[in-house]
Copies of this chain bind each other. A is one copy, B any other.
Amino acid sequence: MTQKQTLEMLDKIKNGELSPEEAVLKLRMEPFEDLGYVKLDHHRELRQGIAEVIYGAGKTPEQIVGIADAMVKRGQNLILITRIPPEACAALAVKFSFNYHEMARIGIIGEMPKPDGIGKIVVATGGTSDMPIAEEAALTAEALGNEVVRLYDVGVAGLNRLLSRLDVIMEAQVIVAIAGMEGALASVIGGLADCPVIAVPTSIGYGASFGGLSALLTMLNSCASGVSVVNIDNGFGGGYLASMINHQRIK
């Protein structure tokens, strides 16, 4: 309920169109929306009109279909299902216009939107093994209305691969830097670019990579400014935040 709506409700009480008891019940049932600024289920939904997200891990095919169905009935045209269990795909394909991106473990109901961000989001990876996480980030960003440039396998051990694409780095509005093992990619890109860099450590590696801990610590200690970090293997989080930054507009 906006301030305007609250005023209207109170006017109705004043005019006798609404009893005080009814108003209390209404306020009680929606403690925050009455105040006009809390978003319903904000943390799981994306901006209206673009995409909603279902976190598929641990959900049954029936649950996923059920949630998707409810969203579609609410008028949602684009639904992103992350970490989708492969066995849920058949049921979704029967019922919806559905695409399954195997590498990213993402299923998408509906059509991808036209990009409407400020600029381009670059998704870069250190190696080819980081690609599943990178695709999760890239598809998330695309579903949220961003143009995405993929820059895969540009790890710092072969610096020329990265430097030969410096133009792409320099033109990015936001960069999602994804790397496992030593995770140095984020620092190097952070030093080259002049835009925000979101670092996503991955669990790729063995031995002293300790399931992504090594890359995580490297990225947190980056001496390049403008670098921040999300959870290990959290491609979705990287893509989501990149989209937020790429849609910064005057409020």
Contact = CB atoms under 8 A, between A and B. Distances in A.
Contacts of A191: 42-43, 156-159
User: In which size bucket is the chain A interface?
Assistant: 35 or more
Contacts of A173: 248, 251
Contacts of A171: 251
A205 B14 CA distance: 50
State the number of copies, please.
8
Contacts of A184: 156, 182-184, 187-188, 218
Interface string A189-210: 0111011101001010111111
A237 interface: yes
A127 to B, nearest CB: 7
A207 B192 contact: no
A139 to B, nearest CB: 15
A36 to B, nearest CB: 4
A10 B31 contact: no
Question: Taking each of A44, A47, A119, which has the highest tally of chain B beta carbons within 10 Å of its own beta carbon?
Answer: A44
Contacts of A88: none
Nearest to A164: B31
A221 B182 contact: yes
Interface stretch (A69-77, A91-99, A108-116, A227-235): A227-235
A1 B206 CA distance: 35
7 contacts: A1-B33, A30-B34, A43-B155, A118-B250, A157-B191, A184-B188, A206-B231
Given A156-B224, A207-B216, 18 more contacts: A3-B24, A5-B36, A10-B20, A30-B164, A32-B166, A33-B163, A34-B34, A38-B160, A157-B187, A184-B188, A196-B248, A205-B221, A207-B220, A209-B217, A215-B221, A216-B220, A220-B229, A228-B229
